[in-house]
Amino acid sequence: MNGKRGLLLVTVLVALCGLLWTLKPWESGAADLQQVRKERLSHIRAALTRNDLQLGQPILIRIFKETDELELWVKSGGKYRLYKTFRICSWSGSLGPKKKEGDGQSPEGFYTVSRGQMKPDSQYHLAFNLGYPNAFDRANGRIGSYLMVHGKCASIGCYAMTDKGIEEIWLIADEALKGGQTAFQVHVYPFRMTDAHIKRHVGSPWLGFWTDLKAGYDRFEQNHSDLNVTVVNKRYRVTP
């Protein structure tokens, strides 16, 4: 009897392995990227054209937690122009940076996304990795992994954009990287960093950190160009 049970167990395991081997990526939660391109890319190109923008040009993304907004900017004539503001379906934690693995916080700061961080096989439809922890996070002893902008509407430390939202964002980013942009910047803010909003949070323990972020926010508002960001004495420094 034990031998028969053992044989049955082996048979079941082999069958399961075969099933997993034959599953397509999108059957496990990932997108069918070829189909997404077929359905969406021509419409996205047309929408950009209507805004006097071109698919394949460099991009930049800004995220604002408090108002659940993701801005997608596309370069035109040497400067970035706002293409569209997407509604963030879900992010987790509260205003303030991520500090450690498992704290449930969505990160804040200045991040860079290259080709290797694009995730067409994400279980959350499509995604890109923000690159947390970056040099600033590491200098401050902050840890964590797999912090993404992705599809669906559930998040533990990530920014969930819905499948439809991430398709447009991801395809435009993918085309920018194909077009020669080596990496695109993602600026993640707690809120729009105006003087008035900073004053609302004057008692926050993150005021110093947010003041450093504001330097980047102000510079981009002035020149609509990529930021030159370094880390000095464990703080962000934005230089011309």
For residue 19, give every residue at least 6 positions away whose Cβ sits within 8 Å of its Cβ, in sequence order, or none. Answer: none
Catalytic residue among 17, 43, 89, 150: 150
Q: Give the CA distances from residue 185 to residues 57, 94, 181, 195, 228, in Å, rounded to whole numbers and listed in that order.
A: 14, 23, 11, 24, 10
Q: Report the alpha-carbon distance of residue 230 to residue 135 in Å, rounded.
A: 8
Tell me the DSSP string of 176-224.
HHHTT--EEEEEEESS---HHHHHHTTT-TTHHHHHHHHHHHHHHHHH-
The answer to whether the CB of 210 falls within 8 A of the CB of 190 is: yes
Catalytic residue among 158, 197, 201, 224: 158
Which one-letter DSSP state was computed for residue 125?
B
Q: Indicate the SS3 state at residue 230.
A: strand
Q: Report the alpha-carbon distance of residue 183 to residue 167 in Å, rounded.
A: 18
Is 89 catalytic? The answer is: no
Query: H-type helices in the chain, by residue range?
Result: 2-22, 33-50, 135-139, 163-178, 195-200, 207-223
Is 197 catalytic? The answer is: no
Active site residues: 150, 158
